[in-house]
């Protein structure tokens, strides 16, 4: 358990992320969707927790991020916020809650901020979401962009393959990143793009870039927690480094529990009242 008192802990802010980029310190970001895991990763020193709409996949078992609702995202976000003492908490605005109009984008962001207590929102896209980004920022809500592979557009792309390999798409991505910066975004996630492009965008932007499959030169890295802990087994993209095999650990613990219960070895004399 963390030994910090709440008041001893310096909270991470968007300004601190900017300072980290300025001094060349890399930013560590992971996803979380619930209180218990958020508490562990916050205590372990993560800088940013993303309540990603990947909750749709890893928590709800959907094939894509599209089905998750705003209410569900707010539920996950408020569980995470209650656990966090230090990290900046960023919440994805889910598909269908910002594309319709900038007014809808603002209303969704205000609900996220008010009802979950999170610190910032993230949305996918560049020039096509400019009005929404500006409107949300005008209410004082920090916004993070997301370019490259944008999973909410999976049915437009048709595949989860590497984006912006061709010059035209790479040029548009750079323009979009600069636009998001000019709008006032405090950072941009770059997902599954060539490492050279990740490096180029990161050196052209003043604001931090956070990569997932965007090479080593982005200003920070993000992974989906279930993937890096080895809970999900089937998902094996090249960019994913597994830091644990929790699938095996949990399977073995549950197997042992089942054996003990069946064999009447649990509970023991010491484990009863």
Cα distance between residue 65 and residue 45, in whole Å: 27
The minimum distance between CB 50 and ligand KIV, in angstroms, equals 6
Binding site for ligand KIV (CB under 6 A): 31, 50, 52-54, 92, 146, 189, 191, 212, 222, 224
Q: What is the dihedral of CA 96, 227, 63, 119, to 10 degrees?
A: -10
CB 222 within 8 A of CB 50: yes
Q: Which is the catalytic residue, given 175, 191, 196, 234?
A: 191
Closest to 15 measured CA to CA, from 181, 153, 202, 207? 207
Nearest to ligand KIV of 9, 40 (CB atom):
40
Nearest to ligand KIV of 63, 270 (CB atom):
63
Exposure on the CB side of residue 62, measured as CA atoms within 13 A? 13
Verify whether residue 191 is a known catalytic residue: yes
Residue whose CB is nearest to ligand KIV in the complex, by number: 52
Closest to 27 measured CA to CA, from 163, 211, 221, 164? 221
Q: Which residue has the tokens 């490259």?
A: 148
Nearest to ligand KIV of 160, 259 (CB atom):
160
Strand partners, 261: none
Nearest to ligand KIV of 69, 255 (CB atom):
69
The minimum distance between CB 164 and ligand KIV, in angstroms, equals 16
CB 31 within 8 A of CB 222: yes
CB 32 within 8 A of CB 49: yes
The minimum distance between CB 86 and ligand KIV, in angstroms, equals 20
3-state DSSP percent of the chain in helix, strand and coil, to 5: 45, 15, 40
Cα distance between residue 173 and residue 124, in whole Å: 12
Nearest to ligand KIV of 42, 191 (CB atom):
191
The minimum distance between CB 29 and ligand KIV, in angstroms, equals 8
The minimum distance between CB 163 and ligand KIV, in angstroms, equals 13
Name the residues annotated as catalytic.
191
């Amino acid at each position: 358990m963390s030994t910090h008192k709440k008041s001893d802990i310096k909270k991470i802010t968007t300004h601190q992320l900017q300072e980290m980029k300025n001094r060349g310190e890399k930013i560590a970001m992971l996803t979380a969707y619930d209180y218990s895991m958020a508490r562990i990763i916050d205590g372990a020193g993560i800088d940013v927790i993303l309540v990603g709409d990947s909750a749709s996949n890893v928590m709800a078992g959907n094939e894509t991020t599209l089905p998750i609702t705003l209410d569900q995202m707010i539920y996950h976000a408020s569980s995470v916020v209650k656990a966090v003492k230090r990290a900046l908490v960023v919440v994805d605005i889910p598909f269908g809650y910002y594309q319709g109009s900038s007014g809808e984008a603002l209303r969704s962001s205000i609900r996220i901020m008010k009802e979950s207590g999170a610190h910032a929102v993230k949305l996918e896209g560049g020039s096509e979401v400019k009005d929404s980004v500006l409107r949300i920022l005008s209410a004082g809500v920090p916004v993070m962009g997301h370019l490259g592979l944008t999973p909410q557009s999976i049915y437009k792309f048709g595949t989860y393959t590497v984006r912006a390999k061709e010059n035209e798409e790479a040029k548009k991505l750079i323009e979009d990143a600069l636009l998001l910066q000019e709008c006032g975004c405090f950072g941009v996630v770059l997902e599954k793009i060539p490492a050279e492009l990740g490096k180029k965008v990161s050196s052209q932007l003043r604001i931090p870039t956070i990569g997932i499959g965007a090479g080593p030169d982005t200003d920070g890295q993000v992974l989906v927690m279930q993937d890096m802990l080895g809970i999900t087994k089937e998902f094996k993209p090249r960019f994913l480094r597994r830091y644990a095999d929790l699938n095996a650990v949990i399977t073995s613990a549950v197997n042992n529990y089942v054996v003990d219960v069946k064999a009447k070895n649990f509970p023991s004399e010491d484990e009863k009242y």
